[in-house]
Amino acid sequence: MQNRLLFLSIIFLTTFAQATAQYTNVDFEPAGIGASWVWVMDQNGDNPPLEFIANPVSGGLNTSATVAKFTARAAGQPFALTFTDDIAPFVLNATNDIIKIMVYKTKISNVTIKLEGSSAPVEIGIANTVINQWEEITYNFSASVGNSYSRLIVIPDFASGRTENIIYFDNIQLPSGNITPPAAPTTAAPTPIHDETTNAVISIFSDSYTNVPGTNTDPFWGQATNSTEELIAGNNTLKYENLNYQGTQFGSNQDVSAREFLHVDFWTSNSTDLGIYLISPGGREKEHVFTIIPNQWNSIEIELSDFVPPVNLSDVFQFKVEGNGNVWFDNLYFYAPAAFPVSLSNFSAEAQGKRTHLHWETATETDNDHFQIERSVAGSVFTPIATVSGIGNSTSTQSYEAWDESPSAGINYYRLKQVDVDGTATYFNTLSVSFASDRPLALVTCNVVSQNVQLTYYAASGGRYEVMVVDMAGRVLHQDAVTFTEGLNEVSFDTPASGIIVSMLSNGKQRSVDKILKPNR
């Protein structure tokens, strides 16, 4: 009997410990939790700071020595609030969906708890039922189970037409952190290659250039995003945490009509939706949606013509980023391309037997040292396979060729690299050549014209097939059920996406998965 009681006692204590471990008590004690956090006041007149003082009515329900003091200004908004991003991020589940707070108020009004993070914001307001004494209010967030949050917002006196009053709150029962923080970059964004003078750079944010004076990278537009600047390997970088949207206000309106590109570097491990708007006065804005390759710096060149219409390139004054997750940005600038040292007339690649023949011609050359042919199988990492000396200087047509003696089965990507006598390199377009595979299903060729993608598949037998093409974030770009004949079959679709996309072909018994590099237009 004693052993059984001991066994039951162990079960009870273990269960109790596990249950209490799901929560953190924000007690505001000097050696406790909450008093050392950064609490931001907002919408409260002159926004007096949140204070941590001795409990004015110790005893009874609340015996804590220290509590938080919120002074609600008469000139403040009905939703005057304080928030902190110092909580440990959490996912709500069935064991931690109850939040509690103790309040001491002199009037009856809603006490609202709001949560923000990578999931949609959620808030619950409950009025206190007593005045001039401590009361504990309980909030049930079970309707938001599965959502992730990293910001706590307290609106202790959600009421209109108020006079100045003081609210005390304490002992917030908050879910303990249960999210592994997303990865962050450890290396700086690539150093920009464009010359500030030669390329007529107009820089909004970059350590490599002179930025437009007075630019505000964190204007308050009502966003939930936590925007900060931090050093990554000694380089100033913008960090957007829990992104929903975030603006940048240029220090002055800019005329970028003589520029051709917007350059952007970004890094993320968990964003699945990301785009940037260029904005002119009068609400003229248009978004460019990014193709995301996670856990590496993505260097993007956006043609400014993509924003026209409705953007007026002679008068732009803002960026806006929309998306989700945590994203780091660097090197946001406009530029015009400098004249290429080599004018390329054509560049072709074709299979000849078991080899690839590459041929190109130049119309003019200035200080051209040599060319390199680079090859990639995945479409992302290129390796040099041939070097061909250049003429140097020429104003007449020059013809060059190279061979790939050992291409891989499936799709091979080739790009041409030109190197000046001073070592400056220029890359030209990427071509693809496919070689037969012993697979019953295979992607043979991929041709891209502007936004149109044309895929040619080989099928060993005719029948019904499912085709799906997705980007690296898993977003479906094209999906269709098609009837193939034995041999070669073509699938065509339009998508603005660029970068690495993945083709999946299946007939229920066999499956072919291939990565494709779709360049920017």
SS (H, E, C) 244-309: CEEEEEEEEEECCCCCCEEEEEEEECCCCCEEEEEEECCCEEEEEECCCCCCCCEEEEEEHHHHCC
Confidence at 19, pLDDT banded by 50, 70, 90: very low
Q: Please tell me whether residue 168 adopts helix, strand or coil conformation.
A: strand
Which domains are present in the chain? 18-175 (2.60.120.260), 202-335 (2.60.120.260), 339-435 (2.70.50.50), 437-521 (2.60.40.1930)
Confidence at 185, pLDDT banded by 50, 70, 90: very high
- What's the rounded Cα separation, in Å, for the pair 311 and 300? 19
Q: DSSP class of residue 88?
A: P
Per-residue exposure over 358-367, b if at least 16 CB sit within 10 Å of its own CB, e if not: bebebebbee
Nearest to 399 by CA among 321, 457, 346: 346
Phi, psi of 245 (to 5 degrees): -155, 160
Summarised one tens digit per residue, pLDDT across range 55-81 is 998 878 999 999 999 999 999 999 999
Q: DSSP class of residue 6?
A: H
Across-strand partners of 327?
240, 268
The type of residue at 58 is S
Summarised one tens digit per residue, pLDDT across range 457-502 is 878 788 899 999 888 777 888 999 999 888 778 898 888 877 778 8
Residues 442, 445, 450, 452, Cα dihedral to 10°: -40
Confidence at 85, pLDDT banded by 50, 70, 90: confident
Location of structure tokens 């939790």:
33
Confidence at 379, pLDDT banded by 50, 70, 90: low
What is the H or E stretch that residue 12 is in? helix 2-20
The type of residue at 521 is R
Check: pTM over 0.75? Answer yes or no: no
- According to the model, what pLDDT value does residue 431 have? 85
